[in-house]
């Protein structure tokens, strides 16, 4: 027979509640002891729990971190908690050198001491003491952490490295480990949105990736360490390129938010609100799918000037997941037909009124928009109106198939000017252009208060990326005019709509100086110039008349196009480091790394040394259409070879000093020497058996247009006026045709022993004969 025995807890005088309290008390005592005996373990545990809840972590290249021995971890600096995050992500403790003023509270000091942090207060004695402590730590086998920029970035751009890193490395055998923290821009701890902390985070549980490069010797020059960190940043941005917003999806939300307010206007009198613009584009997209395009048609030609119609067509094509091919209407029919054939353009959308002003004969099916007007049915308009105003944006994405767009899908093809004879089709993806939009947002801070004047054509990559997509997806109004040299109309539009942002070339600015009144540019706040060197006196003259100092930028079609820009003074948030340097083209934009290498050895050059400029980042093109061999030559290991000679100074600013490739930038356009040479050679030929090189085209500086062509030629009986007429008859654009006084007769064209043109000698002769620089 079983006998029941009461349980221990039923008759013991100690209740379960007391046992629980006892366990809690023991745990608290244990934590207190741990906090005193081993602060690092005590602090790591809650940090690990909290950070694991808030973020996902990923480490790339952990094998590059030495397992033992002293080393310096040199990182970019985006957020207030970068140090904590690196401590969380690395297996070894990192002794960061930090500004002691941020750790004066008892809690701050305790947390810093827990990780053997090295505090550096203001004043030379404290700074030197911190450097000595860090140096001792390295010699004792510690990992020392440093943010060489010395301050948080305000744009995401990597700033100049301070000399403290080099001083720490003295008298040690330690190595430097370049690292890059990716993913914190946009968090409340970064300066995104123009402020720290008091803002709504853009993402929840964001993924953070720490990229670790191979160690470099401790005596590596500071600028080369910076370059390694910078290249990691470019790699990181390339890896996350598919996270950039899909622009057709973004523009739906921006235009909806604009509502009945003006969004787009042009010099032909068209004014359209955001909501109406969205309705028009959706109706146009629906009609084109039904009436014009085959289901598998990918590339569509666009022959339109910057205008409301030009914007509508380009956005409609993007929303239909087709690739726009904006055609250069200043070149000959032969060139345009070559461009169309290179990508398989079957249909070209244009305007009858615009086409009538052009002497073009295209092989493709030319479709005037006027002929399509009656084909937009009432059903098209009704469906478009419902989609634009009623259907939720996330659902509209799915209806239009925009949710299926991948960042690497093509958005457009932009044709180069043809520096080797015929233009090449540069294939640009959604991510390429979207990165440019994001970079402009960080650097120039465009918003709904801005009005952007769009005078650059959409067949120009700067016009397409900046004045079309950047202007219309970041919130500003877009005001368009087809002729950037028409200063009178530019002034009228600026005054009427209150233009705040002007994007131009120095040549255009000279025209505006003469013909635009200060009242017409009264609201102008930002003037960014590119394509040609900005003369020093033009900065002063423009600022004196309009109260705005222009800034220079740099880019290339193959780079979507932006690479770098000086931050406009009115948009600068810099505190401790400069973000513009006159005479330079600025620092590379966020996510982009520029490197200068020797044209002979390929080794990276030191600060201030000239060499070939190379660029890597998510802005690098997908390639040249149908020309894989040229793509492989232009892009090597992800680096685009620009063909420009430049140097990067100690502050990280790029200075363009020359050009390797044979073209001139005239009035902002690329003019190929070889193309002009070929046509002149045909006109000067004296017989089929004539093997002499009779002509060489080079470029010399020109104050008014940046450069001008000079033609060296052997004696000829053919009048120069007849040669000029022949060039016009050949269909060369006016910019490609040298002035009459630019023809220089020589007894011999300078040649190298290899049988090639001696370009250096040719330019020297041209400079001498034209008295440039004398």
Q: Which two tokens stand for residue 192?
A: 């995104």
Matching residue, tokens 């005193």: 36
Q: How far from chain centre, in Å, is Cα 274?
A: 26
Residue 179, beta-bridge partner list: 75, 212
Q: Which two tokens stand for residue 1?
A: 């027979």
Burial class of residue 495, CB neighbours in 10 A (0-12, 13-18, 19+): middle
What does the pLDDT read at residue 411? 97
First to last CA, the chain: 124
Instruction: Give the pLDDT band of residue 530 (cuts 50, 70, 90).
Output: confident
Cis peptide before 561 (omega within 30 of 0): yes
Dihedral sign, Cα of residue 99, residue 105, residue 108, residue 113: positive
Contacts of residue 483, Cβ cutoff 8 Å, sequence gap at least 6:
455, 489
**Rounded Cα–Cα distance for residues 500 and 486 (Å):** 18
> Of 2-6, 290-294, 671-675, which gets the smallest average pLDDT?
2-6
Residue 638's SS3 state is: coil
Which among 744, 244, 197, 209 has a CA at the least distance from the CA of 470? 244
What integer is the mean pLDDT of 692-721? Answer: 86
The H or E element that residue 348 is part of is strand 347-350
Residue 627: is its pLDDT beyond 60? Answer: yes
CA–CA distance from 47 to each of 53, 55, 111, 698, 730 (Å)?
A: 10, 11, 11, 64, 72
Give pLDDT tens digits for 152-180. Answer: 898 888 999 998 899 989 889 999 999 99
What does the pLDDT read at residue 735? 85
What integer is the mean pLDDT of 456-482? Answer: 92
Going by DSSP bridges, is the β-strand pair 501-504/451-454 parallel, antiparallel, or unpaired? parallel
Cα 601-605-607 angle, rounded to 5 deg: 170
Give pLDDT tens digits for 229-240. Answer: 999 999 999 999
User: What DSSP state is assigned to residue 62?
Assistant: G
Give pLDDT tens digits for 310-354. Answer: 999 999 999 999 999 999 888 888 889 999 999 999 999 999 888
Overall fold of domain 247-648: Rossmann fold (3.40.50)
What does the pLDDT read at residue 40? 53
CA–CA distance from 7 to each of 12, 189, 414, 712 (Å)?
A: 9, 56, 85, 111
Mean pLDDT of the chain: 86
**Rounded Cα–Cα distance for residues 445 and 571 (Å):** 7
Q: What is the largest CA-CA distance in the chain?
A: 135
Residue 488: is its pLDDT beyond 80? Answer: yes
> Of 355-359, 524-528, 686-690, which gets the smallest average pLDDT?
686-690
Predicted TM-score (pTM) of this structure: 0.81
User: What DSSP state is assigned to residue 428?
Assistant: E
What does the pLDDT read at residue 756? 53
Cα dihedral: 110, 112, 116, 117 (round 10): -150
**Rounded Cα–Cα distance for residues 193 and 277 (Å):** 27
What does the pLDDT read at residue 35? 52
Give pLDDT tens digits for 279-291. Answer: 999 999 999 999 9
Q: What angle, rounded to 10 degrees, do the helices at 247-258 and 378-389 form?
A: 80
Which among 672, 650, 673 has a CA at the least distance from the CA of 596? 650
What integer is the mean pLDDT of 507-530? Answer: 90
What does the pLDDT read at residue 397? 95
Q: How far from chain centre, in Å, is Cα 376?
A: 37
The Cβ of residue 526 has, within 10 Å, a number of other Cβ atoms equal to 23
Looking at the domain that runs over 55-239, which CATH code has it been given?
A: 3.40.1130.10
Phi first, then psi: give them for residue 684, nearest 5 degrees.
-100, 0
Give pLDDT tens digits for 247-265. Answer: 999 999 999 999 999 999 9
Give pLDDT tens digits for 382-424. Answer: 999 999 999 999 999 999 999 999 999 999 999 986 544 578 9
What does the pLDDT read at residue 685? 72
Residue 746: is its pLDDT beyond 70? Answer: yes
Shared fold status for 55-239 and 247-648: no
What integer is the mean pLDDT of 591-611? Answer: 91
Contacts of residue 433, Cβ cutoff 8 Å, sequence gap at least 6:
247, 411, 412, 464, 465, 469, 560
Q: What angle, rounded to 10 degrees, do the helices at 247-258 and 430-444 form?
A: 50
**Rounded Cα–Cα distance for residues 611 and 630 (Å):** 21
Give pLDDT tens digits for 36-88. Answer: 555 555 566 777 788 788 889 999 999 999 999 999 999 999 998 898 899 88
**Rounded Cα–Cα distance for residues 617 and 260 (Å):** 38
Matching residue, tokens 């003037």: 527
- If one compares 450 and 506, the residue with the highest pLDDT of the two is 450
**Rounded Cα–Cα distance for residues 511 and 508 (Å):** 5
What does the pLDDT read at residue 596? 95
Long-range contacts of 340-344 (CB under 8 A, 24+ apart): 340/301, 340/364, 342/424, 342/425, 342/625, 342/626, 343/299, 343/413, 343/425, 343/625, 343/626, 344/298, 344/299
Going by DSSP bridges, is the β-strand pair 639-648/635-636 parallel, antiparallel, or unpaired? antiparallel
**Rounded Cα–Cα distance for residues 492 and 489 (Å):** 5
Contact between 361 and 247 under an 8 Å Cβ cutoff? The reply is no
What does the pLDDT read at residue 415? 93
Residue 26: is its pLDDT beyond 80? Answer: no
User: Where exactly are the structural domains of the chain?
Assistant: 55-239, 247-648, 664-769
The H or E element that residue 265 is part of is strand 262-266
Give pLDDT tens digits for 658-699. Answer: 666 577 788 777 687 877 887 888 888 765 444 566 888 888
Contact between 323 and 413 under an 8 Å Cβ cutoff? The reply is yes
The Cβ of residue 37 has, within 10 Å, a number of other Cβ atoms equal to 9
Which among 409, 491, 508, 495 has a CA at the least distance from the CA of 457? 508
Contact between 262 and 477 under an 8 Å Cβ cutoff? The reply is yes
What does the pLDDT read at residue 102? 67
Contact between 700 and 770 under an 8 Å Cβ cutoff? The reply is yes
Alpha helix stretches (DSSP H) within 38-123: 39-54, 82-89, 106-114
> Of 100-104, 198-202, 708-712, which gets the smallest average pLDDT?
100-104
Which among 178, 190, 167 has a CA at the least distance from the CA of 72? 178
Overall fold of domain 664-769: GMP Synthetase; Chain A, domain 3 (3.30.300)
Going by DSSP bridges, is the β-strand pair 669-672/216-217 parallel, antiparallel, or unpaired? unpaired
Percent of the chain with pLDDT over 70: 88
Going by DSSP bridges, is the β-strand pair 654-659/501-504 parallel, antiparallel, or unpaired? unpaired
**Positions of E strands within 582-634:** 587-588, 593-597, 611-616, 623-624
């Amino acid at each position: 027979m079983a006998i029941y025995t009461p349980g221990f807890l039923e008759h013991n005088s100690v209740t379960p509640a007391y046992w629980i309290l006892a366990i809690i008390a023991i745990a608290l005592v244990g934590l207190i002891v741990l906090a005193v005996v081993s602060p690092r373990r005590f602090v790591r545990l809650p940090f690990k729990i909290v950070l694991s809840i808030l973020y996902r972590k990923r480490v790339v290249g952990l094998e590059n971190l030495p397992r033992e021995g002293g080393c310096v971890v040199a990182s970019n600096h985006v957020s207030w908690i970068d140090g904590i995050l690196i401590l969380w992500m690395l297996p070894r403790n990192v002794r960061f050198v930090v500004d002691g003023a941020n750790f004066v509270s008892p809690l701050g000091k305790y947390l810093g001491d827990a990780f053997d942090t090295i505090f550096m207060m203001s004043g030379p004695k404290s700074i030197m003491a911190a450097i000595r402590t860090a140096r001792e730590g390295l010699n004792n086998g510690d990992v020392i952490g440093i943010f060489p920029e010395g301050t948080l970035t305000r744009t995401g751009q990597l700033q100049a490295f301070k000399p403290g890193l080099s001083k720490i490395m003295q008298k040690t055998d330690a190595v430097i480990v370049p690292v890059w923290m990716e993913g914190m821009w946009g968090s409340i701890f970064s300066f995104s949105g123009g402020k720290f902390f008091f803002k709504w985070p853009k993402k929840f549980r964001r993924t953070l990736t720490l990229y670790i490069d191979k160690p470099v010797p401790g005596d590596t020059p500071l600028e080369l360490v910076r370059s390694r960190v910078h290249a990691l940043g470019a790699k990181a941005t390339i890896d996350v390129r598919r996270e950039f917003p899909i622009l057709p999806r973004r523009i739906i939300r921006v235009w909806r938010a604009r509502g009945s307010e003006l969004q787009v206007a042009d010099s032909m009198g068209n004014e359209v609100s955001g909501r109406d613009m969205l309705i028009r584009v959706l109706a146009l997209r629906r009609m084109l799918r039904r009436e014009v395009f085959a289901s598998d048609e990918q590339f569509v030609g666009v022959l339109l000037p910057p205008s409301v119609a030009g914007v509508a067509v380009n956005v409609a094509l993007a929303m239909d997941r087709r690739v726009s091919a904006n055609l250069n209407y200043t070149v000959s029919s032969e060139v345009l037909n070559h461009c169309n054939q290179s990508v398989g353009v079957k249909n070209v959308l244009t305007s009858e009124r615009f086409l009538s002003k052009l002497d073009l004969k295209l092989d493709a099916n030319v479709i005037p928009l006027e002929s399509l007007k009656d084909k937009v049915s009432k059903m098209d308009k009704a469906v478009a109106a419902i989609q634009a105003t009623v259907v939720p944006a996330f659902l509209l994405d799915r209806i239009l198939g925009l949710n299926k767009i991948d960042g690497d899908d093509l958005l457009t093809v932009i044709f180069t000017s043809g520096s080797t004879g015929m233009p090449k089709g540069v294939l640009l993806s959604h991510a390429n252009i979207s990165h440019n939009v994001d970079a402009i947002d960080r650097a120039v801070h465009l918003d709904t208060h801005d009005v952007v004047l769009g005078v650059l054509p959409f067949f120009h990559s700067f016009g397409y990326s900046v004045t079309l997509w950047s202007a219309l997806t970041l919130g500003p109004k877009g005001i368009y005019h087809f002729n950037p040299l028409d200063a009178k109309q530019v002034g009228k539009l600026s005054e009427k709509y209150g233009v705040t942002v002007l994007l131009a070339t120095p040549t255009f600015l000279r025209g505006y100086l003469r013909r635009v009144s200060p009242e017409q540019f009264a609201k102008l706040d930002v003037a960014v110039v590119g394509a040609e060197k900005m003369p020093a006196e033009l900065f002063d003259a423009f600022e004196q008349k309009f109260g705005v100092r222009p800034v220079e930028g740099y880019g290339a079609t193959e780079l979507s196009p932006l690479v770098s820009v000086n931050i406009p003074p009115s948009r600068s948030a810099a505190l401790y480091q400069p973000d513009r340097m006159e005479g330079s083209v600025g620092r590379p934009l966020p996510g982009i790394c520029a490197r200068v290498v020797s044209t002979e050895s390929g080794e990276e050059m030191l600060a201030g040394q000239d060499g070939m400029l190379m660029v890597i980042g998510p802005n690098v093109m997908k390639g040249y259409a149908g020309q894989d061999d040229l793509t492989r030559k232009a892009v090597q290991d992800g680096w685009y070879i620009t063909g420009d000679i430049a140097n990067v100074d100690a502050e990280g600013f790029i200075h363009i000093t020359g050009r390797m490739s044979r073209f001139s930038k005239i009035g902002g356009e690329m003019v190929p020497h070889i193309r002009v040479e070929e046509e002149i050679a045909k006109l000067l030929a004296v017989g089929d058996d004539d093997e002499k090189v009779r002509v060489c085209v080079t470029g010399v500086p020109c104050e008014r247009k940046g450069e001008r062509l000079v033609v060296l030629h052997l004696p000829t009986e053919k009048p120069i006026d007849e040669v000029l007429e022949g060039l016009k008859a050949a269909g060369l654009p006016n910019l490609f045709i040298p002035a009459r006084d630019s023809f220089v007769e020589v007894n011999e064209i300078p040649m190298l022993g290899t049988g090639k043109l001696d370009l250096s000698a040719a330019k020297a002769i041209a400079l001498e004969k034209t008295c440039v620089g004398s």
